[in-house]
Amino acid sequence: MDLKILFSGVSSACFELVNTEPYYAPEKFKVLLDGQELYECESNVFSVFSLIPDREYKIQAKADGFEAEAYFRTKTESCCVDVRSFGAKGDGVTDDTQAVQMAISYLPDGARLLFPAGVYLTKPLVLRSHITIELAEDAELRGWPVREDWPIVPGVITDIYGKELYFGGFEGNAIPTYESFVSGQYIEDVAIVGKGTINGNAREGHFWEDVHSFPVERARLLFFNRCKNITLHGIHACDSPSWQIHPYYSDKIGIYDVFISAPKDSPNTDAIDPESCDEVEIIGCRFSVGDDCIAIKSSKIELGMKLNRPADHHMIRNCLMQFGHGAVTLGSEIGAGVRNLSVSHCYFRGTDRGLRIKTRRGRGKNCRVDEVCFENIKMEGVLTPFAVNMWYSCCDPDRHSEYVWSREHLPIDDRTPYLGHFHFRDIDCTGAEVAACYIDGLPEAPVEEVVFENVRIDFAEDAKPGVPIMKNFAEPCCRLGLYFDNVRRIKLDSVKLTGVEKEAVVARHYDELITENISEG
């Protein structure tokens, strides 16, 4: 078994056991660093911390059934400074904003700012380029509890020469928002690492109450706008005012072995929402949140047409999605499209949906979703494993308009989205309840192709009815099989359904349906 180095920074490193098992390793193993045992691990992705910069190490993963090893070298740094040297108290009572922000601003390139154990209470912080932030074990960066003290950031401004400069937005629009708790604007080469916590403290700040009454949209926990080479490793991110981690029009984002949590009833607390980004890796992460675990976005039609920046080259691997509306969601704000998405070796447990694609008329002609591949996935207790919806009825003032819900074949124009090729292979689902899959395209713009290969879906004996997708006039169903409407080409190869209530396959308005080795238990 091979051992892959995912990330090596100045004081931490992350590794991945290469095998066919989703998220969990074939058996528990011991992690050894230079021959010294550190701990036991059961997941394919694991980490080591408190390393010395610019030093070579040997890492080993040992079990009865396998052994893997690799050599790696940590990066160099210019200095490492304790944040308390700038006056931070870390007592959970003192306002440490000025001390922490001064430390971030003053340190030289290549510096590491260390937060020892303690609770550092601050208002929103702004990062700079070429720095590492390390949160030691039992260190917590906690959001200021008075919402009115959080600054407001414009979504876009125009400089004196007429050039537009973008600073943020929410749900696909460049609009004012509360400043995110930790943010970076037009920066590069930043790492946030460690075993500590970044806590948005949203409940204390009343960010989850009467959310539609605020003067502007809510803050994110971690927000990166027009940034490059950003790494998050090992931290626990929790209780954001809204989305937890939001890379925005950024490149080369790596998120490794991060745990992201929020209460199940917390509004819009998506875990990771990369928007119009290129080259995003999300590997070895765990999620338990109040909305989608991962939601890939590329803005609504206005920015999708104006900037035309698709979400491209995203890789999601060896992650554990527990609870949330969707495990991996595309949309609904995908006005510039999504392409080249790979999701593999993941475990979805207790989410409403597994794959969830949300779009509708009005997202625009640049909303082209293509080359999406899910493989080697295990789902447990996912109500509807596959949901592809071109009739999404939430968000936006016109969501209940006839233009959105009409089943007539409408003219294709600049507002019409496109869904291309989707491949699902080597997937095992147990405890489904609502539908095995529900894929509903537009009459004028059918989904191009859907391929299922080696897929097994078992329904729970006590399954309860539910709505498989969010659309106008949606009707509840229970133990519905593979449902397709307005899909040009459907290929089903080695698919087994157990406990389906009626027909295994329901297909309407298609050009080609290929079925090979379809069985019912």
Please report where in the chains the tokens 């070895």 appear, as a residue. 284
- Tokens standing for residue 521: 């238990």
If we measure between CA atoms, which residue out of 499, 501, 498, 437 comes closest to residue 468? Answer: 437
β-bridge mates for residue 519, sequence order: 496
If we measure between CA atoms, which residue out of 491, 497, 490, 493 comes closest to residue 519? Answer: 497
**Which residue is catalytic, options 291, 312, 352, 440?**
291
Residue burial 275-314, b: 16+ Cβ < 10 Å; e: rest: bbbbbbbbbbbbbbbbbbbbbbbbbbbebbbebebbbbbb
| d(C-alpha 393, C-alpha 390), whole Å | 9
| d(C-alpha 319, C-alpha 317), whole Å | 6
- Tokens standing for residue 33: 């660093």
Q: Report yes or no: 336 and 304 within 8 Å, Cβ to Cβ.
A: yes
- Tokens standing for residue 515: 């079925």
| d(C-alpha 466, C-alpha 461), whole Å | 15
**Which residue is catalytic, options 325, 421, 428, 493?**
325
- Return the ∠ at Cα 416 (arms to 414 and 421), rounded to 5°: 125
| d(C-alpha 256, C-alpha 166), whole Å | 27
Neighbours of 518 (CB within 10 A): 16
Please report where in the chains the tokens 């950024």 appear, as a residue. 250
Burial label, 514 (beta-carbon count in 10 A; 0-12, 13-18, 19+): exposed
Taking phi over 0 as left and psi of -120 to 50 as alpha, with beta for the rest, 44 belongs to alpha
- 325 belongs to the catalytic site: yes
Phi, psi of 102 (to 5 degrees): -65, -45
Please report where in the chains the tokens 């999300």 appear, as a residue. 282
If we measure between CA atoms, which residue out of 214, 157, 211 comes closest to residue 185? Answer: 157
- 91 belongs to the catalytic site: no
If we measure between CA atoms, which residue out of 492, 495, 462, 468 comes closest to residue 480? Answer: 468
Catalytic residue positions?
A: 291, 325
